[in-house]
C-alpha cells in the first residue's frame, strides 16, 4: 500500500503549484499532458491510469456543448428565446450533468 500524500506534498513532489492541484481535484481546471505526467510520476503510477477517466469526462462535456450553445445562442440584436425558455433549457442541461455524475 502506498503512503497517502497531502495536496501540499503532491504539489512539491510534482513541481506543480498547490493551487493548481486543488483546482484539478475540484474539477475547476483542465490538466495539460505535462502536468498530468508530473503528477503521475510523483504518485509513482502510469499516466494512463489518470487519463482514462479524463477522456470520459471530456466526452461528456463535448456531448453537452450543443445543448448549452443552444441555450445561450444570443445574436447581437437580443435574445431569440424568452427568459423562461432559456431557464428551462439551462435546467435541463444541469439535470443532465448531475445525472451523468
The three-class DSSP label of residue 20 is helix
Question: pTM for the full model?
Answer: 0.49
Cell of 45: 503510477
Alpha-helix residue ranges (DSSP H) falling in the chain = 7-14, 18-26, 33-43, 47-71, 83-100
Convert the pLDDT of each residue in 5-22 to its tens digit: 888 999 999 999 999 999
What's the pLDDT score for residue 50?
80
15 contacts: CB under 8 Å, gap ≥ 6: 38
The CA-based angle 37-33-93, given to 5 degrees, is 120
Amino acid at each position: 500500500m502506498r503512503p497517502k500524500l497531502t495536496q501540499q506534498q503532491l504539489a512539491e513532489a510534482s513541481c506543480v503549484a498547490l493551487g493548481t492541484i486543488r483546482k484539478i481535484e475540484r474539477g475547476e481546471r483542465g490538466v495539460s499532458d505535462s502536468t498530468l505526467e508530473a503528477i503521475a510520476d510523483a504518485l509513482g503510477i502510469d499516466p494512463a491510469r489518470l487519463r482514462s477517466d479524463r477522456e470520459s469526462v471530456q466526452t461528456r462535456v463535448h456531448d453537452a456543448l450543443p445543448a448549452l450553445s443552444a441555450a445561450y445562442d444570443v445574436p447581437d440584436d437580443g435574445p431569440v428565446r424568452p427568459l423562461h425558455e432559456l431557464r428551462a433549457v439551462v435546467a435541463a442541461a444541469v439535470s443532465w450533468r448531475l445525472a451523468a455524475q
